[in-house]
Amino acid sequence: MFYREAGDFKTSYVDDNQTFPIKFDRYRYYVVLFIAFAIIPFLLNDYWVNAVFMPFLIYAIAAIGLNILVGYCGQVSLGTGGFMAVGAYSCYKFMTGVDIWWGGELLFRLPEFNIFFSVLMGGVMTALVGLLFGLPSLRIKGFYLAVATLAAQFFLVWLFNRVSWFYNYSASGQISAPERTLLGVAISGPSAPAWAMYLFCLVFLAVSAIIARNLTRGSFGRKWMAIRDMDIAAEIIGVDPLRAKLSAFGVSSFFVGISGALFFAVYLGAVEVGEVFGIQKSFLVLFMVIIGGLGSIFGSFAGAAFLVLLPVFLKNFLVGGLGWPTDLAAHLEFMIVGALIIIFLIAEPHGLAQLWRVTKEKLRLWPFPH
Amino acid sequence: MKLKLITAVTAAMMVAAPAMAELTFSALSYRTGPYAANGIPFADGYQDYFTLMNERDGGIGGERINLVECETAYNTEKGVECYEATKGQGVLVYQPLSTGITYQLIPKATADNIPMHTMGYGRTSAKNGNTFSHIFNYPANYWDGASIAIKHILDVNNGDISGKKIALVYHNSAYGKEPIRTLEELAKKHGYELTLLAVDHPGQEQKSQWLQIRRERPDYVLMWGWGVMNSVAIQEAVNIRYPMENFIGIWWSGSENDVLPAGEGANGYKALTFHNLGSDYPLYADLQQYVKDAGKAAGAGDQMGTVLYNRGLYAAMLAVEAAKTAQEIHGTAQITPAMMRDGMEALEITEEKMAAIGLPNFGPTFSVSCENHGGDGFGAVKQWDAAAGEWSLITDFFQSDQDVLNPLIAEDSAAYAAENNIAARCE
């Protein structure tokens, strides 16, 4: 009834090609943006931002990034944690001023970057590292590529633990974000207000999602998908696998790097690479992408929401609501989340995004299915 | 999804509703994951002491205690979530029992005006109260531990260890890296050779590190381990037939759970401690009567008298004493986190106080001041007797090398103060 193309006349190709061709979708999108930008910041407190919104926003960026690589281009990656670490450590170096040494002497020191540009530089550096580790993808595929990216994961974590230049020679081997402001408002550091951290991450997420969505709808995305579906056929019709695969690695790593930078600078504030950016982070983001739906931007959001909110909800419900012992609740949480993942993948192998698609199809016919 | 969100909202609301009529303490514990073997006894001891206070004394100064437990699994992200989830309830003091979480919370807790007590762990330079206004690490810290271990080795070798090889097996994290700076400094002073061997989280893989020890045969091995890493390391040491009396763990690597899996082989293993051992204290009679027999013991109730249970008791005891001090200073039983901080800064532990509590001679006597948040750094060495299945102290409590440590602490805290623009607080 409401959800239909009928009566929504398009008079130009631009209109016809827009992201949300259905009017209802378009308005829903504007409403979501409005609520996210103009209403939620007024309702937030520290707990909501730190336990729910920031992990969700940041993981959603990481999931978008990984989805481009795995979902759109079909290159399996287990290096997400390592790439997030690259983003975090580059962001740290740029926000504290990169120092270049030669033969034991300080050659020069870059000025400290603004937090916004530090995060962007985190993305750029990660894109470069991603390109480097994407090179093997030209020769190897599938499981073998997964193993190569796994090597990237372990190598990067080892590197950041080993070379003390990355953590500015601090005794604890941790990096901790000093207070940095944007337009006079603290974004990182302990006194940053909840709404500012939320909005900062939200802006990055919104822009990332729009860029990713449009990239995947354009010629880049079509090339990636051609490679994913059958690389030899893609090559025959004129897709350059070198460019397509490396661009997927670069773009994907860029987003993953941004998420790592935000994860460190805004969300946690202090990071120890082995614990925060270990292999389990790679799996977590991969699960988000798979549960959300491969090859779908909405799926990245849905997967991130599912895996961030569910544990928090279960913990609050079991411990806070029912008053159960914390260890019992923690173990039950593992079992419930694990069981739900399995049930989901059996019932809907294409992820939450497919459920959403089916709902939309049904909604088109509602209330008069033939 | 929306339905879930709404349910989550209501559930979180239920949690966030503060119960302000009591003194709230938090237990950021870990009863799951690879560190649970050490997390459980500490958490049990910590909770049982508060239960005892409620059951026997009706709380502290007439105010009942509300203990909020939150599971962190020794994971910093979960620890931060726990902190944010519970801080709205007016928690008086945080004791995260994790150096990683401590590093996260130092700036946050300071900004939120909530004190944090990191007893024998955390950031060592937090001892300098001039810079770290809300962080306390009395009665001893890692650098004390490193120095005490080296002093013990000096004693065994009649004061000369130049040319000896000492290896440090450490958890590759902020926790394990803490003593390195001190050990390097002490190496300069005493002339020993230091080898560093990092073990990655969670610590089940140590074959290569112990192979290296077998090859290089260091005279002494020090260990900064936690959780499953401890028992694996001790087992590996037994496997390569390393002389156990030359293997010394920090106080976090010296519980029953760490040595029991290695059986007879662990006999003679040494570890440090900053409090006394066993259950031969008057307080234990009360614990038995009011907590255990009343069926109110935390967890399975089977940890009483173990090393880490005692440490949990000790941590809770220091928190309660600080709360009492705060109540005295401010003349009100209903204290806030800010008042609690004042209480911790004015805390004085004397022999009479400990005897009155029912823990005579349990820990060192010390007094906290504005400048010194870390006590005096006394510790002792204990040794495992596998046949008897118990730890026993083999030295008296002695002080760490303050001449070496104080400049290091001043240096590290000055760096932190410069990084974060903190002015010296004390006159």
Q: Do B100 and A190 touch (CB under 8 A)?
A: no
Protein fold of B16-141+282-376+412-420: Rossmann fold (3.40.50)
Q: Do A47 and B84 touch (CB under 8 A)?
A: yes
pLDDT reported for residue B21: 60
* Residue A111 DSSP code: P
**Whether pLDDT at A275 is above 90:** no
pLDDT reported for residue A178: 81
Helices (H), B113-162: 142-156
B313 near B304, Cβ under 8 Å? no
Q: How far is A68 from chain B (nearest CA, A)?
A: 24
B27 to chain A: closest CA residue: A326
Q: Is B76 on the interface with A (CB under 8 A)?
A: yes
**Whether pLDDT at A114 is above 60:** yes
Q: How many CB atoms lie within 10 A of CB A158?
A: 15
List chain B residues with CB under 8 Å of A276: 76-77
pLDDT reported for residue A205: 94
Is the complex ipTM more than 0.85? no
List chain A residues with CB under 8 Å of B5: 309
Confidence tier at A38 by pLDDT (50, 70, 90): confident
C-alpha to C-alpha distances, B315 to B137, B321, B417, nearest whole angstrom: 11, 10, 27
Closest partner residue to B1 among A179, A191, A305, by Cβ? A305
Q: Is A354 on the interface with B (CB under 8 A)?
A: no
Q: Do B103 and A268 touch (CB under 8 A)?
A: no
Q: Is B408 on the interface with A (CB under 8 A)?
A: no
DSSP symbols for A209-260: HHHHHHHHHSHHHHHHHHHHH-HHHHHHTT--HHHHHHHHHHHHHHHHHHHH
B92 near B23, Cβ under 8 Å? yes
Q: What is the mean pLDDT of chain A?
A: 87
Q: How many CB atoms lie within 10 A of CB A9?
A: 7
Q: Is B80 on the interface with A (CB under 8 A)?
A: yes
pLDDT reported for residue B219: 92
Output the six-digit token pair for B268. 């003679």
A46 to chain B: closest CA residue: B84
pLDDT reported for residue B210: 92
Question: Using CA atoms, how far apart are residues B40 and B315, in angstroms rounded to an integer?
Answer: 14
pLDDT reported for residue B7: 53
B107 near A269, Cβ under 8 Å? yes
The percentage of chain A sitting over the pLDDT mark of 90, rounded to a whole number, equals 34
Helices (H), B207-280: 207-216, 228-239, 256-259
List chain A residues with CB under 8 Å of B417: none
**Whether pLDDT at A366 is above 90:** no
Q: Do B107 and A305 touch (CB under 8 A)?
A: no
A191 to chain B: closest CA residue: B111
Q: Do A313 and B73 touch (CB under 8 A)?
A: no
Q: How many CB atoms lie within 10 A of CB A21?
A: 13
Q: How far is B421 from chain A (nearest CA, A)?
A: 10
Closest partner residue to B80 among A174, A189, A268, by Cβ? A268
Average pLDDT over residues A304-317: 87
Q: Is B15 on the interface with A (CB under 8 A)?
A: yes
DSSP symbols for B286-305: HIIIIIITTT--STTS--TT
Q: Is B108 on the interface with A (CB under 8 A)?
A: yes
Query: For chain B, what are the domain ranges?
Result: 16-141+282-376+412-420, 142-276+379-406
In tens, the pLDDT along A170-200 reads 777 788 888 888 888 888 877 788 888 899 9
Whether B16-141+282-376+412-420 shares its CATH topology with B142-276+379-406 is answered yes
In tens, the pLDDT along B150-204 reads 999 999 998 888 889 999 999 988 888 888 888 998 999 899 999 999 888 888 8
In tens, the pLDDT along A218-227 reads 899 999 999 9
When scoring B5, B75, B84, B197 by the number of chain A Cβ atoms within 10 A, the one with the most, hence best to mutate, is B84
For B142-276+379-406, the fitting CATH number among 3.40.50.300, 1.10.510.10, 3.40.50.720, 3.40.50.2300 is 3.40.50.2300
Q: Do A274 and B172 touch (CB under 8 A)?
A: yes
When scoring A162, A288, A314, A316 by the number of chain B Cβ atoms within 10 A, the one with the most, hence best to mutate, is A316
Output the six-digit token pair for B178. 């803490």
Per-residue tens of pLDDT for chain B, all 427 residues: 444 555 555 544 444 444 446 888 888 888 888 888 889 999 999 999 999 999 888 888 888 888 888 888 888 888 888 888 888 888 999 998 888 888 888 888 888 899 999 998 888 888 888 889 899 988 888 899 999 999 999 999 988 888 899 999 999 888 888 888 889 989 998 999 999 998 888 888 899 999 999 999 999 999 999 989 999 999 999 999 999 989 999 999 988 889 998 888 899 999 999 998 888 899 988 888 898 888 888 888 888 888 999 999 999 999 999 998 999 899 888 888 889 998 899 898 899 989 988 888 888 888 888 888 988 889 999 999 988 888 999 998 889 888 888 888 888 888 888 877 888 887 6
Its pTM stands at 0.86
B 278-337 → A contacts, CB under 8 A: 299
Beta-carbon contacts of B169 under 8 Å, excluding residues fewer than 6 positions away, are B197, B199, B206, B209, B213, B221, B222, B223, B224, B225, B233
